[in-house]
Amino acid sequence: MAQIDIDKIDKIERKMHHEEYQYLDLIRDIMENGSWEDGRNGRTQSIFGNMMRFSLKDEKIPILTSKKTAWKTCLKELLWFIRGKTNNNILKEQGVHIWDANAAPTYLASRGLAHYSDGELGPIYGHQWRHFNAKWEGDEDYSGEGVDQLQNIIDALKDPAQRTSRRLLMTAWNPCQLNEMALPPCHILCQFNVHNGNKLSCALYQRSADVFLGMPFNIASYSFLTHLLATQCGLEAHEFVYFIGNCHIYENAMDACKLQMTREPYPFPTVSIKEVKDNINHYQVADFEIHNYKSHEAIKVEMVA
């Protein structure tokens, strides 16, 4: 009788059950089956349509491990969205530069937005989340204007009579203001759902995803948001479900993707939030603690704006 290689079986089972392989398999699918397209900002290889599921149970958070993910940078951007902010200078002061290319004067001029003040990006995510369709007048105080989609969801999640609603949606896609945005939103619609009384899940639809650079942030960001809303509303984070339309890899990231696919993921870390604030706007990065995050080394690729 042939001897059974237990170590090999264990490795195969780990691979089958580790959720990060959904991401690595997407990279492989694009590289093996994707179409080459010339887009507005460069050449990409892409497929259309993908879906992933990540467990958030027991405080787990899917911060990808096959390359180091700058989760603090991701979290700073999320908190910027939550506060309804749209000026890139706020991020730059915190050492976050992911929006710099889209805030550059030459880029804004290409969008017909050369008149914007320094660092201003227009009515992007934060404006739509907290002041949907409020008339855009620059970096102003929009308190009480537009629709506060995020606060409406928080109010509903705190109410046992409303938290099972199938209408807990938040959208950043506003056709009335797309031309005023430095970059039309990529992650455009999320829905929150409560099952079994207190299990909170989030589903995100993203129209366009830079799989190598952007997608790890998108996965972490909406998982952070789900954990935060669960904490704020007295619920338990359960699952992040991710739907993507155009999944693409830029030509300059191909070698980096090949390297990343050779790496075996580590277990996902967990997240804890130190205390419940009286207002969603009051959370700081220091309120979040990440436990046992182990990753492979970072892989640097220049972002294409």
Active site residues: 186
**Cα–Cα distance between 80 and 225 in angstroms, integer?**
12
Count other Cβ atoms within 10 Å, centred on residue 252.
15
Residue with tokens 């749209």: 86
C-beta of residue 54 within 8 angstroms of C-beta of residue 75: no
CA 174, 277, 203, 217 dihedral sign is positive
**Cα–Cα distance between 190 and 273 in angstroms, integer?**
22
Residue with tokens 């790496």: 263
Give the side-chain half-sphere CA count within 13 A for 201: 17
Residue type, 201: S
Residue type, 116: Y
State phi, psi for 247 to the nearest 5 degrees: -105, 115
236-250 and 42-55 strand pairing: antiparallel
Q: Which residues pair with 268 in a beta bridge?
A: none
C-beta of residue 67 within 8 angstroms of C-beta of residue 260: yes
Residue type, 221: S
**Cα–Cα distance between 255 and 285 in angstroms, integer?**
33
